[in-house]
Structure 1
Amino acid sequence: MPDTEHVDSVDSTIIDLLVQDGRRTVTEIAEQVSLSPSAVKRRIDRLERVGVIAGYTVVLDHGKLGSSFEAFVELRFSGDVKVEMITMAATSVTEVLEVFTVAGDPDALVRVRVSGVQHLRDVIDRLRRSGPVIGTKTLMVLGAWRRDGRA
């Protein structure tokens, strides 16, 4: 079986441990999965090589950075606008975190992070001017849940 298709229960445990803490040492992981550190290192290297582990990241406390509010902005575009145009228009606004182009109404759902209501208003204004936008609807995030435990 090729490397890309074979992720066993030990690999899954290693992945779970790294998702919880990407800075966890190979020795700590080895203790959890009852393998030698070198065996764990080989498994991690293989998971990286085949693309199962695509990278590592830092989890920020956005409140401490002054941008603790998130919102979703629905964007409606005029006429028959290409997906690339929608994405390009939305990503021109620096506060945009993600753009989801969707089937149906609206044309896109955009996740933004802002410092407050006035900042959100400014971001919405810039989104409206970013392309042939004919309408927006904003949903302020009150709370969030993620399967990986991060909020």
Structure 2
Amino acid sequence: MKLDRLDESIVHALASDARRSYADIGTAVGLSAPAVKRRVDRLLAAGVITGFTVRVDQAALGWETEAFVELYCRHNTSPSDIRRGLSRYPEVVAASTVTGEADAVVHIYAEDVRHFERVLERIAGEPFVERTKSVLVLSPLLRRHSMGAPS
């Protein structure tokens, strides 16, 4: 689906604050609240908007250690095998196949370094994993949660 400038502005507004009212968004983009709702419904139906969520500070929930792990997998490991294996770990918040030497990069949150070490050992023990390379996050520098046309 090709988005026009109004659709992009609506998506950007919702991505920055999903609780924003249709009337407020309409005022910002020059549409009525019902027109914004119709567009949002169309964007949902087309799969452009996949849901509404809350961003949570992981440290506030006790998950104070953040890491990225490169996975190097055994020959002929499929992305679905990796996804299936990693989906069992609640500490894994994202995983992607990548270009370069590694087969995948995994984003992990843990309570502390010891917890991270236990998770890393379990992941490294998965039958499809040949080896891992990990880095701990010291300070997040930039996190963008929305894309699209700026408001």
Larger radius of gyration: 1
Q: Which runs of 5+ in 1 are unaligned?
A: none
Q: Would you say 1:147 and 2:147 are equivalent positions?
A: no
Question: C-alpha separation between the residues in 2 aligned to 1:137 and 1:148?
Answer: 26
2:125 corresponds, among 129, 139, 147, to: 129
Percent of aligned pairs sharing the same letter: 37
Report which structure shows greater RCO (CA 8 Å, sep ≥6): 2
Q: Which runs of 5+ in 2 are unaligned?
A: 147-151
1:82-116, CA deviations, whole angstroms, 9 ceiling, x for partnerless residues? Answer: 33333322333221112222344222211111111
The Cα shift of 1:144 comes to: 4.1
1:118 corresponds, among 114, 126, 133, to: 114
Question: C-alpha separation between the residues in 2 aligned to 1:17 and 1:41?
Answer: 13
Aligned residues of 1:96 and 1:111 also touching (Cα < 8 A) = yes
- Alignment map for 1:22-61 (pairs within 5 Å): 22-61=18-57
Q: Partner residue of 2:149?
A: none
Aligned residues of 1:91 and 1:99 also touching (Cα < 8 A) = no
Letter of the 1:97 counterpart: V
Question: C-alpha separation between the residues in 1 aligned to 2:113 and 2:35?
Answer: 51
> Between Structure 1 and Structure 2, how many residues are aligned?
145
Question: C-alpha separation between the residues in 2 aligned to 1:78 and 1:47?
Answer: 40
Normalising by structure 1, what TM-score?
0.83
Question: C-alpha separation between the residues in 2 aligned to 1:31 and 1:113?
Answer: 39
Q: Partner residue of 1:72?
A: 68
Q: Would you say 1:87 and 2:87 are equivalent positions?
A: no
Aligned residues of 1:93 and 1:126 also touching (Cα < 8 A) = no
The Cα shift of 1:54 comes to: 1.7
Normalising by structure 2, what TM-score?
0.83
Letter of the 1:139 counterpart: V
Aligned residues of 1:74 and 1:137 also touching (Cα < 8 A) = yes
Letter of the 1:11 counterpart: D
Question: C-alpha separation between the residues in 1 aligned to 2:21 and 2:62?
Answer: 31
Given the superposition, is the C-alpha separation of residues 34 and 133 from structure 1 closer, same or farther in structure 2, using an over 3 Å criterion? closer
1:105-134, CA deviations, whole angstroms, 9 ceiling, x for partnerless residues? Answer: 222211111111101111111112222433
